[in-house]
Amino acid sequence: MTAAEPPASVTPPNDPIAHFQSLLAQARAIDRALLPEPTAMTVASIGEDGHPSVRVVLLKAVDARGFVFYTNLESRKGQELLARPWAALCFHWQPLERQVRVEGSVTRVADAEADAYFASRGRASQIGAWASRQSAPLANDAELTARVRDAEARFAGVTVPRPPHWSGLRIAPARIEFWRNRPSRLHERLLYERAGDAWTVRHLYP
């Protein structure tokens, strides 16, 4: 194919969530030396001043309800996403030459769902969730070490419960765009937009 030859059209999948799950499975099958964190996604939020902020987190669940990650709700991202409950996500899987962009509304997961995921984490990570005042100023490493030791002493010999300020956030997608690399920058872009309980889909220019 040359730059003067348009790529062949494709038939869009009917279900964008199922399509995403298929791509994620492909990403997970790639050698970790080439793709260390296949569930890594960029999350963008908006601050009170109207300025965007962005960071990379790990996707922990995805189904028809949306995309879930877990965080300290008192962190910058937690506060911004709860105050202005709309987020943008981006997945980039370079070995697949694929990118997925998601935009949607944000809600907290149910307590039972958060409890179950927290219980599956390693004990050190559970202690860390209690010790870290995520996004707050930190005087030095000794201060954090002391908070970790305090949490270890507090929960010595018992199951570590989920902190009340730690939970999951679910992004219910209103838009999902699938991008696929093609020669001559004639990339494939498929945009899904929610219409009630269904999805509309259209091709976009690269």
Active-site residues, by number, are 185
Beta carbons within 10 angstroms of residue 31's beta carbon = 8
Angle between helices 141-154 and 123-131 in degrees, nearest 10:
120
Beta carbons within 10 angstroms of residue 27's beta carbon = 21
Burial class (CB in 10 A: 0-12, 13-18, 19+), 45: buried
Return d(Cα 161, Cα 153) in angstroms, integer: 14
**What does 43-111 look like in DSSP terms, one character per residue?**
EEEE-TTS-EEEEEEE--EEETTEEEEEEETTSHHHHHHHHS-EEEEEEEEGGGTEEEEEEEEEEEPPH
Sorted by sequence, the CB contacts under 8 Å of residue 125 that are 6+ apart come out as none
Return d(Cα 206, Cα 196) in angstroms, integer: 27
**Identity at 57, one-letter amino acid code:** V
